[in-house]
Amino acid sequence: MAESLFSRLGTRRALLVGCLLLPILLAGCSSSVTLQPHYFWDSLFHPSPAIINGLGLTIGISVVAQIIGVILGIFAAMGKMAKRRLFRWLAGFYVWIFRGTPLLVQLTFFVFGLSAAGIFKWPGIVIGPIDILPEILAGTIIMGVNEGAYMAEIVRAGIMAVDPGQTEAAKSLGMTYGLTMRRIVLPQAARVIIPPLGNEFNNMLKTTSLLVAVSVFELYNTFSTAAGRTYASFEFLAACALWYLLLTTIWGFFQAWVERRLARGTAGSADYNGYSLRARLWGLRNNSGNQGGR
Amino acid sequence: MTTLNISNDLLGAIGGVPRPETDVVVDARDVNKFFGRLHVLKDVSIQVKRQETVVIIGPSGSGKTTFIRCINHLEKIQGGRIFVNGHLIGYRETPAGRGLPIVGGLPIVKRLSVVGRRRKGAEGVTKLVEDREKNVAAQRQEIGMVFQRFNLFPHMTAIENIIEAPIHVRGTSKDEAMVMGRALLERVGLVAKENVYPNQLSGGQQQRIAIARALAMKPALMLFDEPTSALDPEMIGEVLEVMKELAREGMTMIVVSHEMGFAREVANRVVMMDEGVVVEEGTPDQVFSVPSQERTKTFLSKIL
């Protein structure tokens, strides 16, 4: 029976259904504890403003931190490949520190550690209509800086995958290093960088839950606070997990779509009709011809 | 069939009259180059005058490709000097004995040791340091280069490949660059391929776009690094045709090539290199018909 269920629904969807049914089953079975399933259902289908806010924070922080991470990663990768030993050393040091220590320690150290020592206290900032609390600013930046250390290796692999002839051609046209990187190398490296970047962002979405340590009320903190207040840990944390699952699942579909688009143009693939990387990346195809696969 | 345009004044200037061989465009003096311990260029000295076409021949591993890569400083040299239009390429002289030169606030550690050896107290002795990247880039603007493997930018269309450097390096306006780009496409006979990406073009077409891309910077000198070696035989002709036309128009060119027919027809001079040394140098007739060196004879007998 389980087999037929799995085969009909597909593993992933079967698991999802399982997750949804589990609390109800358990609520029915258990006798010693009383669960309050409405906490579970309400936070899924009638999320409170606090949950919506937490969801927004999780997405917003993830996106901004990932952008910071990509930018820092590009610079760190270029630093690691630089001719000057100083740049190589600086980039290496950065990656070494932020990959070598736990993110949780980094968060708490740079927020509580620094302020306790009187070295630095994070300010709150206002961008237009949005008032950004100090802990949110700190959390976003620290997560971004941490992410940059991981992105550095990914970007470096991407840059190294670009034919050295491209750099030579750009140089021979009188292009400087910066221009060569920006106009010639990085656009081509993007194709190698984007698939692992998708995985990094998936990770980022979940890892923001560590921001509970610096009391940012993102998704996890919102739920764990509610769980603590009501003692309905099971209901709230299960719902919390499902929210994360929803985010990463949506992202997963988006990632798969982007990667299909990228894969279409790989050298030697039969269905490639000469669309540029840019066209493929951003979906600028102007025909509806066969594309293989879906 | 390629269509080629030559401006009328150029035709007038060329029309049968021998080219004015006046000033020297390339002046390479005693160039020495090492890859690790391997001595790949040994005191190579070559001069190329304005509007001259010099073809460098020689067996593989003879250093001919390395040599022309040194001319636009894609390779560093460990000894000698290369001047293009009177400018020292890739390096600048600093008075010796003044400590490390300061560039951009940071001392440059690398130094040329072979040239201008530092002598204590010697007056007027200079040493060479590698020039700033920005200055080298500026020098390269005047030197066009065409590669064996084309190296077109795959994420840009033909016309985008051509106008990229004029716009972003020279600061030409997009409209102006487009006009020039189309004229260049016409010149290499590929107007129809304006909006086509490189991987949809044949090797010969790609190489012609690469030539147009280099010409878009209006260089004073063109370097060709075995431009037809990666091409299918039936495509070699169209690329050589463009190059011949360019030579006839009076472009100063250095061509590393195995195309002896091209060398015979177009070259003012042929330089034979072997094992990092210039073995022989002369007009195509001299080198091909009555080579003076045994090494040249052996090489020619193998490839002709």
For residue A11, pLDDT over 50 is answered with yes
Decide if B137 and A174 are in contact by the 8 Å CB cutoff: yes
Closest CA–CA distance from residue B50 to any residue of chain A (Å): 20
Chain B, 173 to 232: residues with Cβ < 8 Å from chain A are: 196-197, 199-200, 210, 213-214, 217
Task: Read off the pLDDT of each residue in B27-45 and give the average, rounded to a whole number.
Answer: 93
- Alpha-carbon distance of A223 to A90, in angstroms, equals 40
For residue A280, pLDDT over 60 is answered with no
Structure-model confidence comparison of residues A8 and A47, the more confident one: A47
**Residue A240 placed within a domain:** no
**Residue A294 placed within a domain:** no
pLDDT band for position A94 (cuts 50, 70, 90) = very high
- Alpha-carbon distance of A183 to B26, in angstroms, equals 30
pLDDT at residue B71, rounded to an integer: 96
Q: Is B134 on the interface with A (CB under 8 A)?
A: yes
Sign of the dihedral defined by the CA atoms of residues A270, A275, A281, A282, in that order: negative
Report helix, strand or coil for B16.
coil
How far, CA to CA in Å, does B131 sit from each of B97, B134, B158? 18, 8, 32
Decide if B213 and A165 are in contact by the 8 Å CB cutoff: no
Question: pLDDT tens digit string along B197-249?
Answer: 999 999 999 999 999 999 999 999 999 999 999 999 999 999 999 999 999 99
CB neighbours of residue A131 within 10 Å:
10
Question: pLDDT tens digit string along A12-56?
Answer: 666 666 766 666 666 655 556 788 888 899 888 989 999 999 999
Q: Which residue has the tokens 């999320």?
A: A47
Domain count, chain A: 1
For residue A134, pLDDT over 60 is answered with yes
Q: What is the DSSP string of B171-213?
A: ---HHHHHHHHHHHHHHTT-GGGTT--GGGS-HHHHHHHHHHH
Closest CA–CA distance from residue A171 to any residue of chain B (Å): 7
User: Using a CB cutoff of 8 Å and minimum separation of 24, what contacts does A283-290 make?
Assistant: none
Q: Is the pTM of this model over 0.80?
A: no
Whether residue B80 contacts residue B116, with contact meaning beta carbons closer than 8 Å, is answered with: no
How far, CA to CA in Å, does B63 sit from each of B76, B282, B291? 14, 18, 20
- Alpha-carbon distance of A263 to A280, in angstroms, equals 9
**Residue A69 placed within a domain:** yes
For residue B3, pLDDT over 50 is answered with no
Nearest to A166 among B141, B144, B153 (CB): B153
User: How far is C-alpha B118 from the geometric centre of its chain's CA atoms?
Assistant: 31
For residue A146, pLDDT over 60 is answered with yes
Nearest to A172 among B134, B145, B154 (CB): B145
Question: pLDDT tens digit string along A200-241?
Answer: 999 999 999 999 999 999 999 999 999 999 989 999 999 999
Residue B191 CB burial class (10 angstroms; 0-12, 13-18, ≥19): middle
Structure-model confidence comparison of residues A226 and B93, the more confident one: A226
For residue B103, pLDDT over 90 is answered with no
**Residue A62 placed within a domain:** yes
Task: Read off the pLDDT of each residue in B73-91 and give the average, rounded to a whole number.
Answer: 92
**Residue A11 placed within a domain:** no
Q: What percent of chain A has pLDDT over 70?
A: 78
* Residue B48, strand partner residues: B26
For residue A86, pLDDT over 90 is answered with yes
Structure-model confidence comparison of residues A159 and B106, the more confident one: A159
Amino acid code (one letter) for B294: E
Task: Read off the pLDDT of each residue in B49-63 and give the average, rounded to a whole number.
Answer: 93
> Which residues of chain B are within 8 Å of residue A275 when distances are taken between CB atoms?
197
For residue B14, pLDDT over 50 is answered with no
For residue A183, pLDDT over 90 is answered with yes
pLDDT at residue B293, rounded to an integer: 92
- Alpha-carbon distance of B296 to B77, in angstroms, equals 26
What range does the domain containing A193 cover? 50-218
For residue B60, pLDDT over 80 is answered with yes
Q: What percent of chain A has pLDDT over 90?
A: 65
Helix axes A233-263, A219-230, angle to 10 degrees: 160
pLDDT at residue A128, rounded to an integer: 83
Q: Which residue has the tokens 């004995």?
A: B97
End-to-end CA distance of chain A: 30
For residue B250, pLDDT over 80 is answered with yes
pLDDT band for position A294 (cuts 50, 70, 90) = very low
Whether residue A159 contacts residue A186, with contact meaning beta carbons closer than 8 Å, is answered with: yes
Whose CA is closest to B50, among B16, B24, B83, B27? Answer: B24
> Which residues of chain A are within 8 Å of residue B200 when distances are taken between CB atoms?
274
Task: Read off the pLDDT of each residue in A90-106 and give the average, rounded to a whole number.
Answer: 97
pLDDT at residue B23, rounded to an integer: 84
Task: Read off the pLDDT of each residue in B62-67 and give the average, rounded to a whole number.
Answer: 94
Mean of the per-residue pLDDT values of chain A: 85
> Which residues of chain A are within 8 Å of residue B76 when distances are taken between CB atoms?
none
Strands (E), chain A: 125-127, 130-132
**Residue A83 placed within a domain:** yes
Decide if A184 and B213 are in contact by the 8 Å CB cutoff: no
pLDDT at residue A35, rounded to an integer: 85
**Residue A131 placed within a domain:** yes
Question: pLDDT tens digit string along B152-201?
Answer: 999 999 999 999 999 999 999 999 999 999 999 999 999 999 999 999 99
CB neighbours of residue B10 within 10 Å:
13
**Residue A186 placed within a domain:** yes
Q: What are phi and psi of A286, to 5 degrees?
A: -110, 10
Which stretch of DSSP H or E encloses residue B253?
strand B253-256
The token pair at A15 is 């698991």
Which stretch of DSSP H or E encloses residue A105?
helix A103-108
Task: Read off the pLDDT of each residue in A94-119 and give the average, rounded to a whole number.
Answer: 95
> Which residues of chain B are within 8 Å of residue A274 when distances are taken between CB atoms?
196-197, 199-200
Whose CA is closest to B224, among B15, B48, B43? Answer: B48
Among the residue ranges A9-13, A98-102, A278-282, B100-104, the one predicted with the least confidence is: B100-104
Whether residue B207 contacts residue B228, with contact meaning beta carbons closer than 8 Å, is answered with: yes
- Alpha-carbon distance of A278 to A188, in angstroms, equals 9
Q: What percent of chain B has pLDDT over 70?
A: 82
Chain B, 94 to 113: residues with Cβ < 8 Å from chain A are: 106
Q: Provide ipTM, 2 decimals.
A: 0.82
Task: Read off the pLDDT of each residue in B285-290 and give the average, rounded to a whole number.
Answer: 92
For residue B118, pLDDT over 60 is answered with no
Decide if B214 and A177 are in contact by the 8 Å CB cutoff: no
> Which residues of chain B are within 8 Å of residue A86 when distances are taken between CB atoms?
106
- CATH number, domain of A203, equals 1.10.3720.10
What is the count of residue pairs from A and B with beta carbons less than 8 Å apart? Answer: 78
For residue A289, pLDDT over 50 is answered with no
pLDDT band for position A267 (cuts 50, 70, 90) = very low
pLDDT band for position A264 (cuts 50, 70, 90) = low
> Which residues of chain A are within 8 Å of residue B148 when distances are taken between CB atoms?
none
End-to-end CA distance of chain B: 27
Task: Read off the pLDDT of each residue in A238-264 and give the average, rounded to a whole number.
Answer: 89
Decide if B197 and A276 are in contact by the 8 Å CB cutoff: yes
Decide if A168 and B134 are in contact by the 8 Å CB cutoff: no
Closest CA–CA distance from residue B137 to any residue of chain A (Å): 4
pLDDT at residue B138, rounded to an integer: 94
Test mutation, A173, A282, A284, chain B, max B CBs within 10 A? A173
Tell me which chain A residue has its CA closest to the CA of residue B217. A173
